[in-house]
Amino acid sequence: MPDDRPSLIVTRPERAARRFAAAVEARLPGRYRVLVAPLLDIVPVAAAPDAAVDALVLTSENAAERAAELLPGSVLPAFCVGARTAEAARAAGFGAESADGAAEDLLALIRARVAPGSRLLYLRGRHVAVPLGEALSAAGYGVAEAVVYDQRARHLSAAARTALAGPGVVALFSPRSARLLAEEALEPAPGMLALCLSAAVAEALGTWPGTAPLLAARPEAAAMVDALAALDERRS
């Protein structure tokens, strides 16, 4: 029997995509035919610089996990963009504090907690949406940046391409993923919606055909699940 449920195409890197898919299934059991279709692969690279620092700056769970690998036994304070990143940092033994928001919220948290002139180690991916290191330097901090993982592009899977021809939602969590989807130059069905983590993600999607993107209320995965639940209520 054909599965006529709407599709949910999750474009996050594999592990995060599966975690998000599980959260959606727990909230909306059986509502979507979920396709895990990463547009990025996370690949560890390089090592942290050998520099004496006062605190870490972490903008992703991947960065927190790399910090654990590169700085074993360290108990440095870690300033984190969100709860998931802070959770991973605490699990590694760092004294983590979360900004519970986006890069600008993290900058505000650091300025409130850390004296200017302090030395910060910013561990990040090769591709970033916001030049946080430059902003921290401009705020008077000594910043060492280290690219500790790469986000390598992938094409959308064949199954996801097929799903775009029907009703559903494609979930986009980063500006780069949104750009990669737009570059695929695919024509989605009128009933296929884009759900974006933030306005920056929606902006990166550009003029991708279809209805105007939906935006999560907050830049976090839980808010994306909330948005799907709200959409489901409107459609019921």
CATH number, domain containing residue 215: 3.40.50.10090
58 is a domain residue: yes
2 is a domain residue: no
Q: State mean pLDDT over 161-172.
A: 95
For residues 114 and 177, membership in a common domain is answered with: no
For residues 47 and 145, membership in a common domain is answered with: yes
For residues 99 and 180, membership in a common domain is answered with: no
For residues 48 and 145, membership in a common domain is answered with: yes
Q: Could you tell me the pTM of the whole model?
A: 0.88
Of 150, 171, 202, at which residue does a domain stop?
Answer: 150
For residues 47 and 136, membership in a common domain is answered with: yes
Please give the pLDDT value at position 26: 97
SS (H, E, C) the chain: CCCCCCEEEECCCHHHHHHHHHHHHHHCCCCCEEEECCCEEEEECCCCCCCCCCEEEECCHHHHHHHHHHCCCCCCEEEECCHHHHHHHHHCCCEEEECCCCHHHHHHHHHHHCCCCCEEEEEEECCCCCCHHHHHHHCCCEEEEEEEEEEEECCCCHHHHHHCCCCEEEEECCHHHHHHHHHCCCCCCCCEEEEECCHHHHHHHCCCCCCCCEECCCCCHHHHHHHHHHHHHHHC
Domain that holds residue 215: 7-39+154-235
Q: What is the residue-averaged pLDDT of the chain? A: 93
Q: State mean pLDDT over 151-166.
A: 95
**94: Cβ contacts below 8 Å, ≥ 6 apart:** 56, 64, 67, 68, 74, 75, 76, 77, 78
Of 150, 169, 184, at which residue does a domain stop?
Answer: 150
| Residue 46 pLDDT exceeds 90 | no
196 is a domain residue: yes
pLDDT tens for 76-105 read: 999 999 999 999 999 999 999 999 988 999
Of 127, 150, 173, at which residue does a domain stop?
Answer: 150
For residues 54 and 137, membership in a common domain is answered with: yes
For residues 146 and 58, membership in a common domain is answered with: yes
pLDDT tens for 183-233 read: 987 888 888 999 999 999 999 998 777 678 999 999 889 999 999 999 988
Domain total of the chain:
2
Please give the pLDDT value at position 210: 67
